[in-house]
Amino acid sequence: DLTLLLATLSIMTGALVITGVPTKIGAILIAAAGVNLAAMAIVAFFFGALLGTGLPPAPTYIITALVIAPPMIRVGVDPWVVHFFAFVLAVWGELTPPTSVAAAITAKIAETSFMQTLFRAITICVSLFVLMAGVFTRPELVLEPGIAQIGAMLLVMTATIGVTFSIQARFSDHRALDLLLRVVLAAIASVVLFHPDQRVAALACVPVGLFVAYWILRRRHA
């Protein structure tokens, strides 16, 4: 298995280098950086997700990092941030439709529909998107061990809980009200994750906690 993995990695890396893909993707990333960092991250995400459709996580991480790291570092993104992003993206590659091996094996074991299993797996693993965004918006998460890292971890964790509950939880028996509450919770979680002022982000954690508490009380009285 190891020999096959290394052979596949060598073939893929050679094909990418010979065809000039790293240079082309790098040029696209640099151009995207002229717009903003979010555009750059989106281009990198689609590249890594495309690799993930046909490769296991390890080679996906290595090739993604090989391609996206130089241009991202060149425009000022910390190497730790880039590599953590590539690592989480490689994990997400296992769920990339329509060739998710993890979903296919799970569907076979559970004897269920592949597409239903894949959709369920994506909704369960939505926290990966929060982590991928979190390393850019809260770089202290991977850069500064200590109090700053703990604070960033708590913000990203709260945002993850908020996004997860906005997708998975049910807050009302009335469909329209339930949808409205989910949208509000997702918006608040976005403030926690993206707002540049950590004091504002910390304050936004309070309503996320209230939503979770309300859901727990509702479940107990159901």
Handedness of CA 68, 74, 77, 81 (dihedral sign): positive
Chain segment 139-181, per-residue pLDDT in tens:
998 887 888 899 999 999 999 999 999 998 999 889 999 999 9
CA 145, 197, 138, 132: dihedral to nearest 10 degrees?
A: 160
Q: How far apart are CA 217 and CA 220, in angstroms?
A: 5
- What confidence tens digit (pLDDT) does each residue in 109-135 have? 888 887 888 888 888 888 888 989 999
CA atoms of 4 and 21, how far apart (whole Å): 23
DSSP state of 97: T
Token duo for residue 208: 């996320």
Q: Is the pLDDT of residue 66 over 80?
A: yes
Q: Under the phi-then-psi rule, with left for phi > 0, alpha for psi from -120 to 50, and beta for the rest, what region is 169?
A: beta
